[in-house]
Amino acid sequence: MRLLGSLILFCVISCSSDGSRGRLNVSDVSSGTALDAADGADSSTGVDGGDQTDVVDGSDGADSGDAATSLDSVDTADAADGGVASDSLDGPSAPSGIVVEDLGTIQATGGTSGTLSFTTPENAVSFSITVEGEDGVFYAVDNLRGPDGVVLAPGSWPTNIANQGGHIVCLICDNRLSSGESAHGVLVPNSPNVSMLPGTWTFSVMSFTVSAGGSAFGAPTVELTDSSYDVRVSFLEPESDAIPSEGVLGLNLWFTGSNGLSAESAQTDERLQAAVLRFIETYASAGITVSPVRYFDLDIGIDTVDSLSGAGNDFEALASATAGADAGVNLIFVEEIVDGSSPLSGFGLILGIAGGIPGPTLGQGTGRSAVLIRTADVPEGAGLEIPANLGNTMAHEAGHYLGLFHSSEQALFGPQLHDPIPDTAENDNQNLMHFNNLGNIISEQQGAVIRSNPWVAPEGE
């Protein structure tokens, strides 16, 4: 049955392909990190989780009303200090309207933290839980209960045979969530079906390691482990008692030198700036102003990523180099992403990968505090033209990082899955979060989820 659960996860949740375009969504079974891919003529497989992200943005928004077109007030910096931009990187602080509660360092034994708790402010409209832990260890919030006693995430769901999402995605959770390696994030609520109640909430954190199966179709082994990690809760507490209708999202764009792009050249690169404009317009449709956009060089000797999971993997090395960055989502541009750490290696062409659904909130420099983007051209015959989809990919991947799952998954060996958001039409390939990543429409309720994430500061607060 455990094998069956893993197989369903692998083929239903994670692999998504569009036969007409030779396109595949992929996420790593062993890493639990979201990713998407494009595939050529074969029936590549993979796992999803957080999908393709593609490029950067370029607008700074010094004048907040023109974020859809302006590229002014751009900050550039070099990587003289450990690969991290040197100007104004004293670390993110919570913007107005955001309250952060530090629950401290947890020394967990036997794979569980025991019961943790926090009390939501009266006018909080959402909260996120962030776990920052150890390299190579997976974390998952479980036993999440609201003040009314309703269980939003059952205990030990990553090892529950009834959960067809395996250890990666909790499909039996009323508030869908996914585990994370080295760092983990949870956003509540992430659909209008979940009530945000004032009062005392309780939860625990599972810590475990994962050994991949002997093949791409083998069931991974999950083992509980002792671990040390920090936990914090971030509350969105706007002036009103409703999810803000507008918000501001910062972007940090990091360039490894791949495809000739640097912090300086990216600001005038035609291909990149066209994608940036597409990204800005897409988020503007959901009431989100993209501002500021900062450009940095990141030179730590990695421009081709060949490992996404396990001790010392390239993803974590790149994401960790964002330590000290100002508040915003980090997009890191690399030449290629080849997941040599996974039995799925070689199955597809990975365009991008997000650090989680959602990624860690209000903290930079964890092993998952970033989205990686492929800049190399897609080989001829793969059925996907990157320049035309670059902005969509970036917006799609950022959507994962801010808490959105695929609106619809590709069904290959089981029933088709859809996200928990009621107003996303099934199999609408014009939706930004559809598995094929062709469209850029954000539904009203998807926009509310994004604006509930503390990375998106309430407009004017």
* HSE-up (13 A, CA, CB side) for residue 182: 23
**Given this model, what pLDDT does residue 209 score?**
96
Q: How confident is the model at residue 376 (pLDDT cuts 50, 70, 90)?
A: confident
**What contacts 24+ positions apart, CB below 8 Å, involve 59-62?**
59/276, 59/280, 59/290, 59/291, 59/293, 60/291, 60/292, 60/293, 60/294, 61/248, 61/289, 61/290, 61/291, 61/292, 61/293, 62/291, 62/292
pLDDT recorded at residue 89: 34
Specify which of 45-49, 51-55, 111-115 reaches the highest per-range mean pLDDT. Answer: 111-115
Fold of 52-89+243-458: Collagenase (Catalytic Domain) (3.40.390)
First-to-last alpha carbon distance for the chain, in angstroms, is: 50
Q: Which residues pair with 232 in a beta bridge?
A: 102, 130
Distances in whole angstroms, Cα of residue 120 to Cα of each of 93, 243, 455: 20, 15, 18
pLDDT, tens digit, 9 for 90 and up, residues 109-133: 999 999 999 999 888 999 999 999 9
* Helices 386-401 + 270-284 axis angle, to 10: 40
Phi/psi at 246 (5° precision): -140, 155
Where does the chain hold its CATH 2.60.120.380 domain(s)? 98-236
Q: How confident is the model at residue 384 (pLDDT cuts 50, 70, 90)?
A: low
The better pLDDT of the pair 216, 90 is held by 216
Average pLDDT in the chain:
79
Residue 220: predicted pLDDT? 81
Has residue 321 got a pLDDT over 50?
A: yes
Whole-prediction pTM: 0.82
Cα distances from 391 to residues 49, 116, 310, in angstroms, run 19, 40, 30
> What are 224-246's pLDDT values in tens digits?
999 999 999 999 999 887 999 99
CA atoms within 13 A on the CB side of 222: 27
CA-CA-CA-CA torsion sign (374, 378, 384, 386): positive
- CATH 3.40.390 domain extents, the chain: 52-89+243-458
DSSP labels, 60-100: --SSGGGTTT---S-EEE--TBTTB--SS-S---PPTTEEE
**183, pLDDT greater than 60:** yes
Which architecture does CATH list for 98-236?
Sandwich (2.60)
| Mean of pLDDT values over 307-323 | 93
What is the DSSP secondary-structure string of 368-397? TS-EEEE-SPPPTTSS--HHHHHHHHHHHH
| CA-based torsion, 283, 264, 312, 90: positive or negative | negative
pLDDT for 10-33, tens place per residue? 222 233 322 222 222 333 323 334
Residue 221, pLDDT above cutoff 50: yes
d(CA 187, CA 243): 13
At 411 the pLDDT is 78
Rounded to whole angstroms, the Cα distance separating 44 from 48 reads: 13
